[in-house]
Amino acid sequence: MSAEYTEDNIRTLNWSEHIRMRPGMYIGKLGDGNAADDGIYILIKEIIDNSIDEFVMGNGKNIDLSIRGNEVKVRDYGRGIPLGKVIDAVSKMNTGGKYDSKAFKKSVGLNGVGTKAVNALSSYFKVESVRDEQIKAAEFCRGDLTEDGKIESSSTRKGTRITFIPDEEIFKNYSYKHEYVEKMLWNYAYLNRGLAINFNGERYESENGLADLLNNNIDEEPLYPIIHIEGEDIEVAITHTQSYGEDYYSFVNGQYTPQGGTHQAAFRETIAKVIRDHYGKSFEAQDIRTSITAAVSVKVMEPVFESQTKTKLGSQDVGPDGPTMRSFINEFLSRELDNFLHKNQKIADLLLKKIVQSERERKEMAGVKKLARDRAKKASLHNKKLRDCRVHRNDKDDRSIDTSIFICEGDSASGSITKIRNVNTQAVFSLKGKPLNTYGLTKKVVYENEEFNLLQAALNIEDGIENLRYNKVVIATDADVDGMHIRLLLITFFLQFFPEIVKQGHLYVLQTPLFRVRNKKETIYCYSDEERVAALEKLGKNPEITRFKGLGEISPSEFKQFVGEDIRLDPVLIGKEALVKDLLSFYMGKNTPTRQEFIIDNLKVEKDITEEDTAEKAA
């Protein structure tokens, strides 16, 4: 019998109800803070974006950010929200200064939604505006006004302070990771020279813009000094290294666009054309762009993004009456990059040498790659190494769909995950034995080694991670010495040949429980010895304790919750000061005793059990 459809089924939501019911429309995915694009970071970004817009308009050179536990405070020294509109500005949709293009000519946020979304998705939200020696404050809970302060006199510096606590009803078991916040703040600093951001006692500022960005993010000595050129509404920094692939940082109106968009596509296309014209040679585009590291920032009128989270630019033009994005970037690079290379012959010679080297290596590898592709194609028809999912990261322009691939050791673990995974969004790749240590080897080994060749094909990253098929690449190995070693071997592979997968936050390690503690009434899964002790105290007398030595020992029915909504993932992060070459040397170089000590110390099991296992394996 079909359900009735009457007037009672028609419902009108107020502004905060709609945001809370459909948070993904406003902040993308929710997450728990283990990914850089999780919602709790988008909340911070939405507030800081308003402060950045004030700075860009020439109001306030400092922004203060503090995170204490889950409470976030953002203070700027701009003009302050007009006092009579403070409540409307943070709680009334389609209200804001951004609709007045004279006040905000090239703003990050144009639709006045960001602050309202933060308000609706926070269990506590407070806005304070100081203007004309007066202050107005208001407090909210989940978008509902709880305290409407009177306008009072104040000697405080003008500006706006927002305080909020993300709502645990929306964001489950979340916590902020310093590394992700730090990366966000550095990007703001690079794009806004003269701005200082103070975060928990640390200061973020940049004198040289995108040149500083490349200097601070390149892991090795560039092959030639960074080319840094600027024009009206555009800034570009370029160099090449000996690493593999292409590495881009793109921005629009001070907003980092990790998924690129029309400006990044136009830059990739134009850089090849300009260099061909400069040298008068018909180089292949891939030979020009191989090993490039570049940053491009543009400012446009009324930018169109492909989602509210603004991670990918969709604008085809730089303004309503301006040139197309392609012609704008082409004109700039054709003039400024060509002039730079003519004036800096030594750099031009080094760039040419790199392109010729890439061309030679590509031709030498052509035969190896063809054999590898044929082998991967043939293997995919006959083996079961990859149990693919139905939806992929690069299926649509909207990449908000969260897809994962689990890289497992052996058929037992991969079989368990395969039986209970979400077939739409979770794929499984099964390793055969311990992977090769690729430290110090050339990329030729990726094609000659069957395991890595098939893994590369599964991820679809031969021509760069732009075509990566999954948002999350998850290493799922046992919590023992062998499992830790396999984990390091895989991390080494990615750092050596595809570092952008790590740098852009796609690589994770799956946490699985080490112990199951249960009695007749309750079962508790424990991910550490501390959790095991707490479970024993909670369940009292003589509970049953099971230690899982391998993923294959966990039944599919139990495994379901560990890769479902309650999945625990540890992101593989590279700190700002860490160089990839140093990490590789430590993990996989000739320092075996140090590495073994690291592996043992980082296993999440009791020391005596670990030593017992190690002794058994040695025997």
Binning pLDDT at 50, 70 and 90, where does residue 137 land?
very high
Per-residue H/E/C for 475-509: EECCCCHHHHHHHHHHHHHHHHHCHHHHHCCCEEE
The angle at the Cα of 259, spanning 205 to 289, to the nearest 5 degrees, equals 90
Residue 162: closest CA among 124, 217, 206: 124
The answer to whether residue 125 scores a pLDDT higher than 90 is yes
Task: Assess contact for 513 and 548: CB atoms under 8 A.
Answer: yes
Mean pLDDT, the chain, whole residue set: 83
Identify the residue with better confidence: 156 or 317: 156
- Could you count the other beta carbons within 10 Å of the beta carbon of residue 395? 12
Binning pLDDT at 50, 70 and 90, where does residue 244 land?
confident
The angle at the Cα of 589, spanning 451 to 442, to the nearest 5 degrees, equals 45
Binning pLDDT at 50, 70 and 90, where does residue 238 land?
very high
Cβ contacts of 593-601, under 8 Å, gap ≥ 24:
595/488, 599/481, 599/484, 599/485, 599/488, 600/481
* Model pLDDT, residue 4: 65
**Mean pLDDT score, 218-235:** 90
The HSE-up count of residue 37 (CA atoms within 13 Å, CB side) is 24
* Model pLDDT, residue 110: 43
553 secondary structure, DSSP code: G
Tens of pLDDT, residue by residue over 358-383, are 999 888 887 777 777 777 676 664 56
* Model pLDDT, residue 22: 82
Residue 70: closest CA among 32, 102, 98: 32
Task: Assess contact for 112 and 95: CB atoms under 8 A.
Answer: yes
Sheet of 568-571: strands edge to edge?
Answer: 386-387, 426-431, 404-409, 472-476, 507-511, 568-571
| Helical residues (DSSP H) of 437-476, grouped into ranges | 444-448, 450-459
* Model pLDDT, residue 616: 38
Task: Assess contact for 121 and 167: CB atoms under 8 A.
Answer: yes
Phi, psi of 52 (to 5 degrees): -65, -40
Residue 436: closest CA among 492, 383, 380, 386: 492
SS3 at position 592: helix
The HSE-up count of residue 120 (CA atoms within 13 Å, CB side) is 25
- Could you count the other beta carbons within 10 Å of the beta carbon of residue 102? 6
> How many angstroms separate the CA atoms of 463 and 477, rounded?
27
* Model pLDDT, residue 398: 45
* Model pLDDT, residue 613: 40
Delineate the domains of the chain, giving CATH numbers in brackets.
15-204 (3.30.565.10), 210-361 (3.30.230.10), 383-511+550-603 (3.40.50.670), 513-547 (no CATH)
Binning pLDDT at 50, 70 and 90, where does residue 341 land?
very high
- Of 279-288, 399-408, 536-545, the one with minimum mean pLDDT is 399-408
Binning pLDDT at 50, 70 and 90, where does residue 612 land?
very low
Residue 91: closest CA among 80, 81, 105: 81
Binning pLDDT at 50, 70 and 90, where does residue 256 land?
confident
The answer to whether residue 537 scores a pLDDT higher than 50 is yes
Tens of pLDDT, residue by residue over 162-205, are 999 999 999 988 999 988 999 999 999 999 999 999 999 899 99
Distances (CA, A) of 324 to 130, 265, 295, 476, 572: 41, 12, 20, 45, 38
Tens of pLDDT, residue by residue over 78-89, are 999 999 889 988
Place of tokens 């034995």: 433
* Model pLDDT, residue 322: 72
- Could you count the other beta carbons within 10 Å of the beta carbon of residue 229? 18
* Model pLDDT, residue 397: 45
Binning pLDDT at 50, 70 and 90, where does residue 74 land?
very high
Tens of pLDDT, residue by residue over 447-499, are 888 889 889 989 988 877 878 899 899 999 887 778 888 888 899 899 888 88
* Model pLDDT, residue 133: 92
- Of 112-126, 228-242, 432-446, the one with minimum mean pLDDT is 432-446
- Residue 183 is encoded by which pair of tokens? 């990366």
Binning pLDDT at 50, 70 and 90, where does residue 257 land?
confident
pLDDT above 70 coverage of the chain, percent: 83
Tens of pLDDT, residue by residue over 418-460, are 888 999 999 999 988 888 888 888 888 888 888 898 899 899 8
* Model pLDDT, residue 111: 43
Give the residues across from 44 on adjacent strands: none
Phi, psi of 39 (to 5 degrees): -55, -35
> How many angstroms separate the CA atoms of 150 and 382, rounded?
73
